[in-house]
Amino acid sequence: MADDAQRPTPSPDRQDEPHLLPERPRVRNRQPRATATVDAVIAAAIELIEREGPDQLTIAAITGVSHGAIYHHFGDRDGVVRAAQFARLTRQPGQDIEALGFGVDASASVEQFRGVVRLMAERLTDPDRDAVRLTRAAVLTAAELDPELFRAMHDLESGVAAELVAVLGRAADQGLIDPSLDVRAIAAVLEAISFGLVLLRHIDPPPSTEALTDALERVFSSMLPASG
């Protein structure tokens, strides 16, 4: 990844453009009580966004926390949306990696792991994942002109990759992955495929979910040993 000093800096007319990164002075270095408040707001905002969409999120719709506290920690309604969307970006890959790790640890043979591969293919082809993929695409685009956001996304994506490599490393140690393949390369391919599925929104007609799952299972299975 290019050094931050080589990244383009925002032009003056973009300084106030909202993005999805929570403003650090408002959400960092806080006491436990403040942390609980911020976490509660983000959790409520995520629930509202996933149920009704980000455009329908209002401060008034968030209950259980005073409006004064919300404005104090997030600045405004857009600050809440940014924090919630960024949290969603963090949550989804974490859930996938946790599920994959559980499958790796529960597999005593390559054949058992093939069942895990099928389940992971089904997870990735769930149409409900489109919203987070679109958000990720928007953030990655904005990050090209926002050094702070670029660093945040760099840290997030690098962390996700490291966690995935660790899980795949365990799979390799157990003989569940073709030993001739590099686990970092496998991780990169898996992430690229998962993110790239957002393009299906622009393909008409798209493949059926079942057909797509079958194809992904075949691709992923090609990375397993021939027998186990």
pLDDT 10s digits, 197-224: 999 989 999 999 999 999 999 999 999 9
Does residue 72 have a pLDDT over 80?
yes
Cα 212 to the chain's mean position, in Å?
21
Return the closest-CA partner of residue 64 out of 37, 26, 33, 31. 37
What pLDDT does 196 receive?
A: 92
State the Cα–Cα distance between residues 129 and 114, nearest whole angstrom. Answer: 23
State the Cα–Cα distance between residues 219 and 190, nearest whole angstrom. Answer: 10
Residue with tokens 């966690």: 163
Average pLDDT over residues 90-111: 90
Predicted TM-score (pTM) above 0.95: no
State the Cα–Cα distance between residues 27 and 22, nearest whole angstrom. Answer: 7
Contact indicator for 32, 179 with CB cutoff of 8 Å: no
pLDDT band at 100 (very low <50, low <70, confident <90, very high): very high
Please give the helix or strand (H or E) that residue 136 lies within, else none: helix 130-143
Alpha carbon distances (Å) from 124 to 143, 206, 207: 25, 15, 14
What pLDDT does 141 receive?
A: 83
Higher pLDDT, 80 or 177: 177
Question: In sequence order, what are the residues at sequence separation of 6 or more whose Cβ sits closer than 8 angstroms to the Cβ of residue 64?
Answer: 40, 44
